[in-house]
Structure 1
Amino acid sequence: DKVKGKSNYILFKRASKEDILDQSELFKNNEILNLFLNKIPSISFIINEYRQIVYMNKYALEFSKINDLSEAIGKRVGELLNCIHSNEGKGGCGTSEACSYCGALNAFLTSHDGKPTVEDCQIILGPNKEAFDLRVWAHPTIYKGTQIYILTVKDIKHEKRSAVYERIFFHDLLNTITGLNLNIQMLKKKDCTDKDLFLERADYFVKNLIEEIQSHQILNAAENGDLLLRNTKINSIEFLKDILSFYEFQSKFNSKIIKIDVQSKNITFNSDTTIIKRIIKNMTINAIEATSKDDIITIGCKSDNNQIIFEVNNPGIMSKNIQLQLFKRSFSTKGHNRGLGTYSMKLLSSFIRGEIDFRTSKENGTTFFLSIPLNSVIQS
């Protein structure tokens, strides 16, 4: 781990205000350098050995949503961009536990050892917690006797999005169609004695196929800002029964048990059924994939602190490294370019003024929560 192997000197120490201003002047007064950096259509930062910004080009200013370089001087890149982890550690950006998984920090640390490098960085920025996929190049150099590092940043969201979408969509689609085809072939056999069973399975795979297509349509619309809300009356218990019914066959097939919490509250409220269903189904899929044979998955609903809270629990425990990377756009526990589950939950919940959270412990397993403001309730 690059981060754990570094001293407090690199991660925590900062240059004085006077030194920062002196370093910044080296670049601000260089007309040729300014012209060159501002002609290159990429986001560029120049940082010192303490990871503090001493210069940035106009594309970096635009990406950071600031008007003047003076607003950035002395800050670290995560602090300027308002990374959600930049204030968690005692030393600011780069010093929290989550920072050990930051591609931008690891790129800098490699370049600090004298090696130019490139890393992909999954980061969540700003008050709206917007997820970004960035590619960060870090190059060490010495300018007028001062050690500096040039960071070049590229937004690769669309590149990642295309790769992940295609891989997930075609992988899941192929699995579903293969399952459907196998059951149809069994039904075509003259000596088939379990036609009702194979019809039930075929029906499940057809429904799953429709769900997969709708899921990708919804997520694509959400990312493009084109998602239209369709508020309808929702009864919480009937909603949970619908979820249970959909996954009943899959849970039997996988020897998992899904049940509704007997303490679930019967609440009727107005919201978008499709979005809530997509979120809870993602939670349920994750729970099914995270559990072992004969494990029990519990889905439920309660009201607390002026909120309706849907929850999905499984007995598994989530490791710390996974907890620290949840909700990042391209992060997956399933392997390269495989999952958008927790990210999509977070994104979709924002459209219904909802919040996604989780708890995990040895005693109670892992529970994911969807909280929706109670002021949307119309009847209980």
Structure 2
Amino acid sequence: MPAPDPTCFAPTERAAVEEIRRQFAVLSNHEIPGVLNAVPVISMVLNRCRQVVFGNRKFADAIGVADIREALGKRPGEAFRCVHAASAPGGCGTGEFCVHCGAVRSILLGLAGRENIQECNINREDGGKIEALDLRVSSSPLAFDAEKFIIFSITDVSHEHRRRSLERIFFHDMLNTVGGLQGLMEFLVEEVPEDLRPDAQLIHRAMAHLTDEITYQKQLLAAETNELETNFSTLRSCDMLEVVEATFQNSEQAKGKRIKVRDACSQATFDSDPVLLRRVLGNMVKNALEATSPGGVVRLGCRPGETWVEFWVQNDAVIPKSVRMRIFNRSFSTKGLGRGLGTYSIKLLTERYLGGAVDFSSTHEDGTVFRVRLPLGG
């Protein structure tokens, strides 16, 4: 028996051609082909030697073959023409580059009986050009007729990764530019002639508002991708209400309306992230102001419990039942296209990052009340 090829990572052993054909025939006469072809992602069945013994139509299209039998016996990197697949005599999974390959790691974990999801970055040869791909791969063990296989699936997330990279660059550059302009306006407010000072102050406030809006969008995107970091500190409930009231009392949304903090609010000390909590309460107030008619009042308050503190925002408008059913859905809004992140972000930030809960009620007797309940201990 010849000595096995050397390897830097995964075993080099391969099944014989006759064995591959037998496994393909067995799998083809089962319901597995129908199931995999119904899955809208690239999926294949690999044997214990990491070789393709079946693949769905998405897989065949991705590697450019008309018949899946053309790919039988290949390993995933070989089927996808990874530039490192032939860098070692043992083929895909055995070269020094393969040590860091998320696909190989995922497959080996799957063969060990562990379902898993990994990230994989490969360079593939495509028509004489090199194409860089960012992939999300997964492996799930499959036992069939006393044989061990894995179902290996691939999702191309290259566009998602590029979009996130561009977003990070965009927010970084925008905040730097707007921050510079805001600093310049701070200087000009003091230096311009007295008759131009109101205009300079107006521009300065607009720049501050723009900076805040850009920061909010950056935080929301980070929250959706689980990349948002929290910074908890000890807070006082009435202090938070006063900050929110002062922020919105002279805002565009509050023109012709009043914001009133309930006098009977009881002070509570609790742990939370002040920046995120201001976002949550601010969105509650902003939504209430937009729903309030000129001359109306938006009321704020808080009440402590044994283990929690609750903030509430109330306005006199009533939300129709058809709208209430979808109030926290992403991008749903009664204000038109491109809106609808306000209530969605309230729930997202509160429940995923602040450890709290959100609810609301809307009746003809009490108007609409949004409530955020947070644990005292953070």
CA distance in 1, matches of 2:322, 2:345: 20
2:301 is matched with which residue? 300
Which amino acid in the other structure matches residue 332 of structure 1? S
DSSP 3-state at the match of 2:270: strand
* Pair 1:252–1:34, CA change in 2 (3 A): closer
Question: What are the equivalent positions in structure 2 for 1:183-262 lying under 5 Å apart?
Answer: 193=195, 195=196, 197-250=198-251, 254-262=255-263
Which amino acid in the other structure matches residue 352 of structure 1? L
2:371 is matched with which residue? 369
Q: Does 1:281 align with 2:251?
A: no
Are the equivalent residues in 2 in contact too, given 1:251–1:257 (CA < 8 A)? no
Are the equivalent residues in 2 in contact too, given 1:204–1:249 (CA < 8 A)? no
Which amino acid in the other structure matches residue 33 of structure 2? L
* Higher relative contact order structure (alpha carbons within 8 Å, sequence separation ≥ 6): 1
TM-score, normalisation: structure 1:
0.50
Give per-residue Cα distances to partners, 1:213-234, cap 9 Å, x unaligned: 1111111111111111101221
DSSP 3-state at the match of 2:233: strand
1:339 is matched with which residue? 340
* Pair 1:197–1:235, CA change in 2 (3 A): farther
Are the equivalent residues in 2 in contact too, given 1:327–1:343 (CA < 8 A)? yes
* Pair 1:191–1:39, CA change in 2 (3 A): same
Task: Give the superposition deviation at 1:261.
Answer: 1.1
Identity value in percent = 31
Are the equivalent residues in 2 in contact too, given 1:251–1:258 (CA < 8 A)? no
Question: What are the equivalent positions in structure 2 for 1:1-380 lying under 5 Å apart?
Answer: 31=29, 34-42=32-40, 193=195, 195=196, 197-250=198-251, 254-304=255-305, 306-349=307-350, 350-376=352-378
Give per-residue Cα distances to partners, 1:352-380, cap 9 Å, x unaligned: 1111111111121111111001334xxxx
CA distance in 2, matches of 1:233, 1:200: 33
Paired residue total: 223
Structure 2 unaligned regions, length at least 5: 1-26, 42-55, 59-158
Higher-Rg member (1/2): 2
Runs of 4+ with deviation above 4 angstroms: 29-34, 190-193
Which amino acid in the other structure matches residue 42 of structure 1? P
Which amino acid in the other structure matches residue 358 of structure 2? I
Structure 1 unaligned regions, length at least 5: 1-28, 44-56, 60-157
Are the equivalent residues in 1 in contact too, given 2:270–2:375 (CA < 8 A)? no
Are the equivalent residues in 2 in contact too, given 1:232–1:272 (CA < 8 A)? yes
Task: Give the superposition deviation at 1:306.
Answer: 2.7
CA distance in 1, matches of 2:308, 2:325: 26
CA distance in 1, matches of 2:225, 2:253: 37
DSSP 3-state at the match of 2:377: helix
DSSP 3-state at the match of 1:316: coil
Which amino acid in the other structure matches residue 376 of structure 2? L
Are the equivalent residues in 2 in contact too, given 1:251–1:288 (CA < 8 A)? no
TM-score, normalisation: structure 2:
0.50
CA distance in 2, matches of 1:254, 1:227: 33
* Pair 1:287–1:253, CA change in 2 (3 A): closer
1:66 is matched with which residue? none
DSSP 3-state at the match of 1:325: coil
* Pair 1:200–1:313, CA change in 2 (3 A): farther
CA distance in 2, matches of 1:313, 1:270: 24
CA distance in 2, matches of 1:32, 1:212: 55
Which amino acid in the other structure matches residue 36 of structure 2? N
Are the equivalent residues in 2 in contact too, given 1:308–1:372 (CA < 8 A)? yes
